[in-house]
Structure 1
């Protein structure tokens, strides 16, 4: 569902605070408390989390794109100077946040007064850019994110959105341990958790930032980015497809905001058709073997993508990375019920996804 034939323009900028994400609960195809046999003696089955490895691996192999595909499509991912919007061949990034880029030191100096209030230190050497790159060129992941964004931003309800009314979807990214037992250790502040942990990308929430009901107008830079994207899609024959913006935000524990990146978002007809059809996700319980249907929704799309990334044991998707102390502190903050925004968003995700059923 992703268009990989043209370059995506990525624009870093400031991040806004958002309201609490409403709680939504969904089913999980890998858990059950039903024996499946009405004639059997009554009994209770307690399941923390059960996953059928063979089925999980087969599903991943059937749906995942190859490393070769991702490497071949990296050339379609481009960035521009934060100050003058010049296309950049070489990335000269802010040494502190690593999430804005410049064509020269002169542009960096000119932009500093605007960038300074939102510049937060990032322990990851490349910041968000490499992870966002792999997300946006992956048709499976970005495709399901687009379907979720259609629901969240109300594209099926208001025909103006994406055409004469811009919209922006904010996607909260976090890095969690690839081993759920390590996640438990951080969440419950177990000192036995190792210093070096393999992490993986997870999507904690999608929240809308759209006209005319948004808290504040889009910045002129973002509005111009949207107008250019809308005009480009019109020129390429996609006049009937909505166009918006997507902002990827890295969660932090010390602030209510983190470093972010924004890029254009073309919603193709096939994504709209899937959202309108609302066919449920269908799976088989690893405990009972019975079929389970999970209603199509934004949170169901997020859970599917998160499980898809979790099933990638060989890092085929290039979305695994060593966890930083900032990543770990965000999980510890949620376990301590801190009120910082990233901690609240993670708690909401844990309430939605059954993998964390016994944590909250």
Structure 2
């Protein structure tokens, strides 16, 4: 397994401030092409991505969603009205025309990305430590997603609040964190609805011959800085026996420095799986995976807020991601220098 630990381009020297440079492994394109799922395969896989009515759980090909948050679906106006009292507290406006739906859809039908995400979930949710999780005991993995600039130089510009960053930026999906429902930050019990969803999924897998595979739930959450609000999507999650076997072997990743060419090994873990996922998406220059989209002001503000060192959930998980992924080392050094000198630096 391999990780491209950097990207390669350099910016033109700015007239003043700090010059940010990043480099790309010359083999990045070949590495991406060798493992990436084709557009044709993703198109076929979309046919198996079903959506249920939020109120009555009817699965239909054509549902309409909440016009405000775009994060819940209904089979009729009647179901939408019945569900409004439950949905209202968590309904937040989303600038993106389809919310997070299309991005989560394309991520979910990608076997490469989901394969590595499932390995990360195995570690984070303790499936190797407790053999009853996913069988007698349900588990839920919360996946924190965000949109970042596809060009890391623009990320650095937003982070240090460089006014010269273009208003229109191409963004890409990134996975910032996996949080287990059993963790201290998520001690609230599963809602009856989610618990019933898990029980039905567990029974269905048993009936289909997967009684020895753990089953849980997965929730994709797209947060914004304001009051740590956001929209989410929840689905059942089947962990194949092969995924457990991969996690148990703990075969290390090989990381390559784009600056030095030195190869180093990274232990297989939830963190290294996320770094692989994010690096793989970043390497998709032609948007073959359909995980790129124009950034909204909400997306940009989370990065700016992290650069201002604001203490919100969305900024904390972004900074944790920056600390564990080598690509962001330059941005963190800029922030440290700014704190030490009391002056601002511009990246270009």
What TM-score does the superposition give when structure 2 sets the normalisation length?
0.88
Aligned pairs for 1:312-327 (under 5 A) are 312-327=284-299
Aligned to 2:174: 202
2:104 is the alignment partner of 1:132 = yes
Aligned to 2:147: 175
Partner residue of 1:117 out of 86, 89, 105: 89
Aligned to 1:331: 303
CA–CA distance in structure 2, aligned partners of residues 318 and 249 of structure 1? 19
Per-residue CA deviation, residues 212-249 of structure 1 (Å, 9 max, x unaligned), is: 99511101111111111111111111111100011000
Aligned to 2:198: 226
CA–CA distance in structure 2, aligned partners of residues 274 and 69 of structure 1? 24
Q: CA deviation at 1:283?
A: 3.6
Partner residue of 1:50 out of 13, 23, 33: 23
Q: CA deviation at 1:316?
A: 0.2
- Identify if the C-alpha distance between structure 1 residues 319 and 213 changes in structure 2 by more than 3 Å, giving closer, same or farther: closer
CA–CA distance in structure 1, aligned partners of residues 4 and 46 of structure 2? 33
Aligned to 1:84: 56
2:145 is the alignment partner of 1:193 = no
Runs of 5+ in structure 1 lacking a partner? Answer: 1-26, 32-46
Aligned pairs for 1:27-38 (under 5 A) are 29-30=5-6
CA–CA distance in structure 2, aligned partners of residues 292 and 264 of structure 1? 36
Per-residue CA deviation, residues 137-195 of structure 1 (Å, 9 max, x unaligned), is: 10000000000000000000001100010000000000000011111111111111111
Asked if 2 retains the 8 angstrom alpha-carbon contact of 1:257 and 1:341, the reply is: no
Q: CA deviation at 1:342?
A: 0.5
Q: CA deviation at 1:359?
A: 1.4
CA–CA distance in structure 1, aligned partners of residues 134 and 120 of structure 2? 15
Runs of 5+ in structure 2 lacking a partner? Answer: 8-19, 333-348
The root-mean-square deviation of aligned C-alpha atoms, in Å, is: 1.8
Aligned to 2:42: 70
The SS at the match of 2:230 is coil
- Identify if the C-alpha distance between structure 1 residues 225 and 80 changes in structure 2 by more than 3 Å, giving closer, same or farther: same
Asked if 1 retains the 8 angstrom alpha-carbon contact of 2:119 and 2:243, the reply is: yes
Asked if 1 retains the 8 angstrom alpha-carbon contact of 2:116 and 2:277, the reply is: yes
Partner residue of 1:144 out of 109, 116, 132: 116
Structure having the larger proportion of residues in helix? 2
Aligned to 1:154: 126
Per-residue CA deviation, residues 292-336 of structure 1 (Å, 9 max, x unaligned), is: 101111000000000000000000000000001110111111111
- Identify if the C-alpha distance between structure 1 residues 287 and 177 changes in structure 2 by more than 3 Å, giving closer, same or farther: closer
Asked if 1 retains the 8 angstrom alpha-carbon contact of 2:215 and 2:239, the reply is: yes
CA–CA distance in structure 2, aligned partners of residues 161 and 123 of structure 1? 37
Aligned to 1:277: 249
2:287 is the alignment partner of 1:298 = no
Per-residue CA deviation, residues 277-296 of structure 1 (Å, 9 max, x unaligned), is: 10100244434443310111
Per-residue CA deviation, residues 56-101 of structure 1 (Å, 9 max, x unaligned), is: 1111001100000000111100111111111122121111100001
Asked if 1 retains the 8 angstrom alpha-carbon contact of 2:121 and 2:141, the reply is: yes
The SS at the match of 1:140 is helix
